[in-house]
Structure 1
Amino acid sequence: MAGNTRRPGAVRKTGSKKGPQVGTGGHGRRALQGKGPTPKAEEREYHPAYKRKVAAEQRAAGQRQRDASRGVVRGTRRATDGVEVVAGRNSVLEALRTEVPMTTVYIATRVDHDDRTREILQLASERGLALLEVTKPELDRLTDGQVHQGVAAQVPPYEYRDTDDLLDAAEASGRPALIVALDGVTDPRNLGAVLRSAGAFGAHGVLVPERRAAGVTASAWKVSAGAAAHVPVARATNLVRALGELKKAGCFVVGLDGDGDTEVGELHLATDPLVVVVGSEGKGMGRLVREACDVVASIPIDSTAVESLNAGVATSITLYEIAKARRAAS
């Protein structure tokens, strides 16, 4: 109404709740934050997708219970940190036959069974191993894309010994110590062959470096034909230092090299406590390892077409000569 001083129009009172402000000062920031992303449908309890997920989990749990009663557990991929996975029907069957330690055997769902898979199931059941039935995609991920033919097995990490354990084994046997040390041998099949020869000729253990060297894998187990279960393997952080400790314990260190001072068949230290050092086929022993040897022996090779022998063959020949010399002296 004109002239009414009690109604000053749209002018706000100073200090009122909706009074004038200088800048936003962050007052609108909270309004812009929102309530976060919308939860997935299967995470909202009232949504049909959530009810379908719960029903599927209940059906899966019931299926696992039924499979467990038959001795087969249905599941998904398990963590394999620190373990090795053997893939393929022949590989898994051979590993079972040679008593490679295993924890789990994986069988693909609806796999076409043959004589190999039936023997795998039989051997796994006899050893009390867990049988895990998985889908083919899960088996593909577990084996990292290897050709698995619907079968895989999980091998636990090998428990290495200390150098003192090898000396204790020699003392318990009542015979002079005989240890094989490998320098730069990176092929686990060569390590398996060395273990097999060590078991055949009475060696008390094998010593390998911790780095840049083959370890006791499933491949080494298979090549060793079960000898890995009976011949202890020790790991050394520093091979040269470990050889020095063995020398202080009373062992002589004999290195193998094509330019050796003597032949292995004429080794005069054969009846003493020995450490036989075998290098890689290409590079041989390292310089410091060679300097740590008391004697460097060679294996004579008649053919000029072959320059050297691999670690497994060289170890076998040397251990045979040592065993023959010890039998002759006894």
Structure 2
Amino acid sequence: MQNNSEESELVFGHHSVVELLKSPTANQRVNKVLVQKDLTSEHVREVVKIAKRDRLIVQEVPKSKLDLISDGGTHQGVAAYVAPYQYVELDEIFKSAEKKGTDPFILILDKIEDPHNLGSIMRTADAVGVDGIIIPKHRSTGLTAVVAKTSTGAIEHVPVVRVTNLVNTINDLKKRNVWIFGTAMEGKNYRQWNAKGAIALVIGNEGKGVSPLVQKQVDETLSIPMVGHVQSLNASVATGVMLYQAFASRNE
């Protein structure tokens, strides 16, 4: 297994590292665990206990090292180098739903560029039971260390599919009887959304929204009514609003 940080992603912060170490693939993906030298907090003790239980490499380093590699982030005295995050095939999303005995609940992100937005979205997706997220390979953030940190561990639980062509993937979903919903300024009020059954929700780019080619593929368009001066929401906030409406509809 590679121990070179150039061939790894860095995960830091107590909650993110603990979720990483508890994941089923930790032994295959974790290259090295770093803990702050001479720091005996409960956070550090928990990380060391799990890492040593699973016979992972644990290295004590000075706080200045953790400050440097985390770029001044809140590391809480712990970090880990991991192999790059793995994407899954589309079938894995359907298998996830089948295991739970539910209809597929899918999120499609059309060129989300900010890794903080993706991390926050993953956090909400995990909370409401989304079976998987689909992102495009190009002009979109992937699964990075920043995404992992912002997701506070959700990255370990929400499968992500990375595809070359979103339009083709949406057509594939339709063949599997998935109903596609899109977001736009004009559309049905999201509070009237019946999200039962096999569904996919498309969220657009932070500035441009859903691209025209993808918008043409949606079966129904939804909107979030706003009465303020700013007629748009942050992508992760808008996604949170929509996902919780879907969650409420699916669990009536």
* Matched AA of 1:132: Q
Q: Secondary structure at the match of 1:325?
A: helix
- One of 242, 246, 249 as aligned partner of 1:318: 242
Give the conservation status (yes or no) of the 8 Å contact 1:196–1:225.
Answer: yes
Distance 2:124 2:205 in 1: 17
The residue correspondences of 1:237-248 to structure 2 (distance < 5 A) are 237-248=164-175
The residue correspondences of 1:278-293 to structure 2 (distance < 5 A) are 278-293=203-218
Residue of structure 1 equivalent to 2:193: 267
Q: 1:317: Cα distance to partner?
A: 1.3
Residue of structure 1 equivalent to 2:223: 298
Change (3 A) 1:126 1:237: same
Change (3 A) 1:230 1:95: closer
Q: What is the TM-score normalised by the length of structure 2?
A: 0.81
> Which structure ranks higher in relative contact order (CA pairs < 8 Å, sequence separation ≥ 6)?
2
Q: Secondary structure at the match of 1:258?
A: strand
The residue correspondences of 1:249-260 to structure 2 (distance < 5 A) are 249-259=176-186
Q: 1:133: Cα distance to partner?
A: 5.3
Distance 2:179 2:204 in 1: 17
The residue correspondences of 1:221-232 to structure 2 (distance < 5 A) are 221-232=148-159
Residue of structure 2 equivalent to 1:154: 81
Q: 1:79: Cα distance to partner?
A: 2.4
Unaligned runs of 5+ in 1: 1-76
Distance 1:85 1:221 in 2: 9
Q: What is the TM-score normalised by the length of structure 1?
A: 0.63
CA deviation string 1:10-55 (max 9, x = no partner) = xxxxxxxxxxxxxxxxxxxxxxxxxxxxxxxxxxxxxxxxxxxxxx
* Matched AA of 2:20: E
Give the conservation status (yes or no) of the 8 Å contact 2:15–2:153.
Answer: no
Q: 1:220: Cα distance to partner?
A: 2.1
The structure with the greater share of residues assigned to strand is 2
Distance 1:233 1:266 in 2: 28
Q: 1:236: Cα distance to partner?
A: 0.9
Give the conservation status (yes or no) of the 8 Å contact 1:98–1:222.
Answer: no
Q: Which has the larger radius of gyration?
A: 1
Give the RMSD, CA atoms, in angstroms: 3.0
Give the conservation status (yes or no) of the 8 Å contact 1:208–1:236.
Answer: yes
Identity of paired residues, percent?
A: 33
CA deviation string 1:159-214 (max 9, x = no partner) = 11111211222233222211001011122221122222222222111111122212
Give the conservation status (yes or no) of the 8 Å contact 1:254–1:276.
Answer: yes
